Amino acid sequence: MFSGSFLRRSALAAGLIVAGVSAAKAQTPSPDPRVGLKAGIYNAQQALWNMRVVSATARPAGFVIDSAPGDFNYIDSDLAFDGKYVIQGNFHGILIWDVSQPAHPALVTAFPCPGFQNDVSVYGHLMFTSVESGDSHRDCGGERIADTVSADRVRGVRIFDISDIKNPKILTNVQTCRGSHTHTVVTSPADKANIYVYVSGSSFVRSPNELAGCSGMTPDKDPNSEQFRIEVIQVPLAHPEQAKVVSKPDILAGLTQAGTHPEAATDLARQKARVDSARAAGGFIAQVEGRDVIIGGRFLSMQLDSIVKARGGTGTPTTADTATFRTNMQGIVDKIVGAGPTQGPRTGPVQCHDITVYPAIGLAGGACGGYGLLLDIKDPAHPRRIAAASDSNFAFWHSATFSNDGSMVLFTDEWGGGLAPRCRATDDPKWGADALFRIKDSTLMFQSYFKMPAAQTEQENCVAHNGSLVPVPGRTIMVQGWYQGGISVFDWTDPAHPKEIAFFDRGPMDSTKLVNAGSWSAYWYNGMIVSSEIGRGLDILELTPSDLLSQNEIDAAKLVQVAQQNVQDQQTIVWPSSPVVAQAYLDQLARSGMTAAQVTETRAGLAKAEKATGAARKNALTKLASQLNGMAAAAGDPAKVRALASVISGLAK
């Protein structure tokens, strides 16, 4: 349907300049080739390390203003995956690409349907898009709506039938009070008749005259306020057109603690020592969200002065005044920090930005303004908060990614909202970064930060943004978009010491001014890394082997194939039984965990067993597995040796 001339895919290949990377493949190149790249829209200089560009395809006509490539009404947004198709949101509509030939993505559908930010998800033959902006029309077209109240306005989640991939059909628009900035499709192991959609809206609450029941008042004035809540849409799979909001859980209620810094165990111990010594000295200790806080002298004297005044006295507060304060202290503090259901305006975030669910472990990570939350989602219609983290280095908790075993979670900080250059040499590497946590006994234990390390210019919007796991067995590896900071691949198997292992970056769009562009999302999908480039279209890349990531590890990752993928609905990665998976583990054990001799011996044993057939093969593999299990306890990495043994046992079956 689309002619070749429609796709200006060749434009990007022309004038491509790659900055030289001559450093050893295991060492981050120095100087960093990402620094100082030449500007250009389709011919910017590029830097690549342990990755290669498979294709780069510009946005089609109608979805880009060539004279203003950063025009906000036409920028690319998030991605969803459906078989051979990549579904790409654009603020002007939806683009669907056939990527069965990754070197030549073919545009299948360009469906105009303006709305910010057209975040996309897919489930079966259903496609979902987010609309938050206030001027989108219910039928995807028509005039942009300017009236403050209009029956034609859509803010919420659109649901399409994409049985005919070339002709998406609107089934329904599920209207929500704040619209939908992002949304998360939630599959439930317990409920096969429905799927759920968690709606995060980061904008204003619309008028009740437009959508009944919408209230933007604070909860102390209106208990049904939309604030401090998310919306949950239930989609009956037999009748998706009947999808509706079924609950508005107030998962943000009572968040009052503004952490100064993520608390590592040592920080917690230090704080406890301070509180204990203040208490012993007769200090004033109040509780803020379950934690002890030492009341400062200034706040104390202000409060004492007002107690003196209240009893009509003057001068120095008496012992009785101090006692009065001590009695009422907790109530006063609650009022100041906004705790409690009705005690004055609540503080804390009134809405979430994005939620990543992991149904197999019953958890979700909510990125909600000033907080990162851990939610229990076993009852998908009624998620509830079980832990929260805040951090003075984090401006804006943006999104979450769990490790495959669910023992760790990574939150991103979109400091500056993605519109600002926040990766300059002068920007603190703890600001606008990823924060890595271990999850232990339903608490979030801070481990470290990771920020794409190459300094970017004033002309490049750059901050942590969307990414996904790269399914390398035995390691936790993530690929992540950093807007015009490019794409970074890093290992956070040890969350206290994340390490970059590959990258891709382009120079700025324009050397004289900031033009919005860069990787909105970079996700692994069935062996490819697909990146939605805000201003330059669709990029497909692949990892190349290095001392930091072997060919076996890449091949093992490529074995993982899924039929559909929404990155924010995290599914457990399962590797098929394959010799490649065993070889990937062996490559890792060769780096550390087994002696060189043990690795050589195991490889030889595996090769020999694989050459045999029938019962001989089975016996050899079983024997090898049991030998490995026997030596595991004494090995440098017992868990990995056992994982290897388990793969080899699997091969025997």
Partner 1 sequence: MNLRCSVPALTLLASCLGLTPLLGQGPAEASGPSAADVVFMSGMIGHHAQAVLMAGWAESHGASPTLQRYCRKVVVSQRDEIGLMKRWLADHHEPLPDSTLMYGRSMPGMGAMLMPGMLTAAALAQLDSARGADWDHLFLEDMIRHHQGAITMVQQLFNTPGGGKGVVFQFATDISTDQTAEITRMRQMLLTLP
- Please identify, among the stretches 139-147, 520-528, 554-562, 580-588, the one whose residues bind partner 1 according to the rule CB under 8 A: 139-147
* Contact status: 348 vs partner 1 (CB under 8 A): yes
Q: What is the DSSP letter of 27?
A: S
Told to check if 133 binds partner 1 by CB under 8 A, we report yes
Q: Which is nearer to partner 1, 396 or 449 (CB)?
A: 396
By the rule CB under 8 A, 67 interacts with partner 1: yes
Does position 547 interact with partner 1 (CB under 8 A)? The reply is: no
Judged by CB under 8 A, the stretch of 144-152, 243-251, 310-318, 645-653 that binds partner 1 is: 144-152
DSSP single-letter state for residue 501? E
* Binders of partner 1 in range 174-193 (CB under 8 A): 181
Measure the CA–CA gap between 139 and 317, rounded to whole angstroms: 67
Long-range contacts from 649-652, C-beta under 8 angstroms, 24+ separation:
649/621, 649/622, 649/625, 650/577, 651/577, 651/578, 651/579, 651/582, 651/610, 651/621, 652/617, 652/618, 652/621, 652/622, 652/625
- Read off the tokens for 414: 């979109």
Residues 271-310 that bind partner 1 (CB under 8 A): 286, 288, 293-299
Residue 500 CB coordination number (10 Å): 18
Span from 35-43, 126-134, 314-322, 379-387 in contact with partner 1 (CB under 8 A): 126-134
Give the binding range for partner 1 (CB under 8 A) out of 111-119, 231-239, 305-313, 465-473: 111-119
Cβ-based nearer residue to partner 1, 210 or 542: 210
Q: Between 16 and 300, whose beta carbon lies closer to partner 1?
A: 300
> How far apart, in whole angstroms, are the C-alpha atoms of residue 471 and residue 487?
17
Q: Assess contact for 401 and 358: CB atoms under 8 A.
A: no
Spell out the residues 6+ positions from residue 515 whose beta carbon is closer than 8 angstroms to its own.
Answer: 69, 70, 459, 508, 509, 535
Please report whether residue 62 would count as binding partner 1 according to CB under 8 A: yes
Strand order of the sheet with strand 371-376?
Answer: 354-358, 363-368, 371-376, 384-389
One-letter identity of residue 12: L
In whole angstroms, how close is the CB of 182 to partner 1 at the nearest point?
Answer: 13
Size of the site for partner 1 (CB under 8 A): 77
Quote the CA–CA distance of 398 and 378 in Å, as a whole number.
23
- Which one of the spans 27-35, 45-53, 410-418, 468-476 is the region binding partner 1 (CB under 8 A)? 410-418
Residues in region 219-278 near partner 1 by CB under 8 A: 256-258, 260
CB of 45 to partner 1, least distance (A): 24
**Footprint of partner 1 on residues 145-164 (CB under 8 A)?**
146-148
- Work out the angle between the directed axes of helices 579-591 and 596-611 (0-180°, nearest 10): 170
Considering the complex, what minimum distance in angstroms separates the CB of residue 236 from partner 1?
Answer: 27
Residues 190 to 219: which contact partner 1 by CB under 8 A? 202-204
Q: In sequence order, what are the residues at sequence separation of 6 or more whose Cβ sits closer than 8 angstroms to the Cβ of residue 250?
A: 219, 228, 229
Q: How far is the CB of 364 from partner 1 (least distance, A)?
A: 20
Does residue number 336 form part of the binding site for partner 1 (CB under 8 A)? Answer: yes
Mask: binding to partner 1, 603-632, rule CB under 8 A, as x and -? ------------------------------
Q: Which of residues 487-516 bind partner 1 (CB under 8 A)?
A: 513-514, 516
- Contact call for residue 349 and partner 1 (CB under 8 A): yes
- Minimum distance between the CB of residue 202 and partner 1, rounded to whole angstroms? 6
Contact 127, 172 (CB under 8 A): no
CA 353-492-471 angle, 5° bins: 85
For the segment 419-438, give every residue that binds partner 1 (CB under 8 A): 419-422, 426-428, 431
DSSP E strand boundaries for 335-389: 354-358, 363-368, 371-376, 384-389
Nearer to partner 1 by C-beta: 420 or 541?
420
Tokens of 427: 């920007």
- Least distance in Å: CB of 296 to partner 1? 4
